[in-house]
């Protein structure tokens, strides 16, 4: 199993990964709150030379589903730029949240905007790396909270090369039972490219997005290990830094 963690990009990611004993890392390529153009990472050469597998998480501000032009247009542009920055690091993908709509807006229109993200970029030669759409914990208007919505989304983007990132905290808080979730997702997307393995501070279906360490949340840690095993994809921990080393140790033991 390939086990990894989200690491800070403003330190030395390769050294951090070595200290943690992981072989996959996730990082940002710019301030996660901004749409600024990513700058080359100072450790690009070290990252490319290392045996680490790298995945990039896109900025949180991005919402390609939005019906608001002033948010959707810069979001599209940011996805293209961040995918290129990911390619420059030798990453295998760019994680992008499903996004959300405002009250009263039609899910189909948001999904159509997702499709346009891919079709418009295809005219320019496609993205630098595969786009991995991540499920979110939700709230009203979420595009990728529950599997029913993801099924509709996949009807629109499944033939566009979209990949999928399954976040266990988001699925749980979004009201999806984790028992058998890998099989249910695979039946829709045909692929799971990445797992964000996180426990949740909040209860099932709470719609709250607060990650917890693997043995320190409302989800049975054995169930998390089962999801990791079944998915067969690289695992990224996005758990609180204080317990991260214990999470890596727990997971290595559970998956050994």
What 3-state class would DSSP assign to 57?
strand
- Smallest distance from Zn ion to CB 36, Å: 22
190 phi and psi angles, rounded to 5 deg = 75, 0
- Smallest distance from Zn ion to CB 238, Å: 5
- Smallest distance from Zn ion to CB 229, Å: 19
- Smallest distance from Zn ion to CB 57, Å: 8
Stretch that binds Zn ion, among 22-30, 32-40, 139-147, 159-167 (CB under 5 A): 159-167
Stretch that binds Zn ion, among 44-52, 98-106, 188-196, 213-221 (CB under 5 A): 188-196
Beta strand 235-237 pairing with 194-196 = parallel
Q: Are the C-beta atoms of 169 and 209 separated by less than 8 Å?
A: yes
End-to-end CA distance of the chain: 8
Give 56's strand partners: 27, 94
Residue 72 near Zn ion by CB under 5 A = no
Compute how many residues bind Zn ion; rule: CB under 5 A: 2
Question: Can you tell me the distance from the alpha carbon of 40 to that of 15, in angstroms, rounded to the nearest whole number?
Answer: 18
- Residue among 145 and 196 whose Cβ is closer to Zn ion: 196
By CB under 5 A, what part of segment 161-180 binds Zn ion?
167
Residue from 91, 196, 219, 239 in contact with Zn ion (CB under 5 A): 196
- Residue among 167 and 176 whose Cβ is closer to Zn ion: 167
- Please, what sign has the CA dihedral across residues 162, 167, 171, 173? negative
Q: Are the C-beta atoms of 197 and 234 separated by less than 8 Å?
A: no
- Smallest distance from Zn ion to CB 123, Å: 30
Stretch that binds Zn ion, among 5-13, 107-115, 137-145, 189-197 (CB under 5 A): 189-197
Question: Can you tell me the distance from the alpha carbon of 229 to that of 119, in angstroms, rounded to the nearest whole number?
Answer: 34
User: Half-sphere exposure of 206 toward its Cβ, with a 13 Å CA cutoff?
Assistant: 15
- Residue among 122 and 224 whose Cβ is closer to Zn ion: 224
- Residue among 5 and 65 whose Cβ is closer to Zn ion: 5
- Smallest distance from Zn ion to CB 73, Å: 25
| Of 29, 77, 54, 20, residue with least CA distance to 244 | 20
Kindly list the residues in this chain that would bind Zn ion in the complex (CB under 5 A): 167, 196
């Amino acid at each position: 199993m390939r086990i990894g963690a989200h690491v800070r990009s403003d330190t030395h990611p390769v050294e951090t990964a070595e200290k943690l004993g992981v072989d996959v890392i996730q990082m940002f390529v710019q301030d996660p709150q901004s749409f600024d153009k990513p700058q080359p990472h100072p450790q690009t050469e070290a990252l490319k030379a290392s045996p680490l597998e790298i995945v990039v998480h896109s900025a949180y501000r991005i919402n390609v589903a939005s019906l608001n032009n002033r948010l959707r247009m810069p979001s599209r542009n940011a996805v293209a730029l961040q995918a290129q920055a990911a390619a420059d690091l030798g990453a295998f993908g760019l994680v992008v949240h499903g996004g959300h709509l405002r009250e009263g807006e039609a899910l189909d229109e948001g999904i159509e905007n997702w499709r346009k993200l891919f079709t418009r970029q295809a005219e320019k030669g496609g993205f630098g790396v595969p786009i991995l759409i991540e499920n979110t914990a939700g709230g009203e208007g979420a595009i990728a909270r529950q599997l029913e919505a993801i099924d509709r989304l996949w009807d629109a983007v499944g033939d566009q090369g979209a990949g999928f990132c399954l976040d266990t905290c988001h699925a749980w808080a979004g009201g999806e039972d984790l028992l058998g979730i890998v099989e249910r997702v695979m039946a829709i997307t045909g692929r799971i490219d990445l797992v964000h393995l996180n426990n949740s501070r909040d209860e099932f279906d709470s719609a709250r997005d607060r990650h917890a360490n693997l043995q320190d949340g409302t989800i049975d840690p054995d169930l998390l290990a089962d999801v990791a095993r079944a998915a067969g994809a690289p695992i990224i921990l996005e758990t609180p830094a204080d317990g991260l080393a214990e999470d890596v140790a727990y997971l290595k033991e559970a998956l050994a």
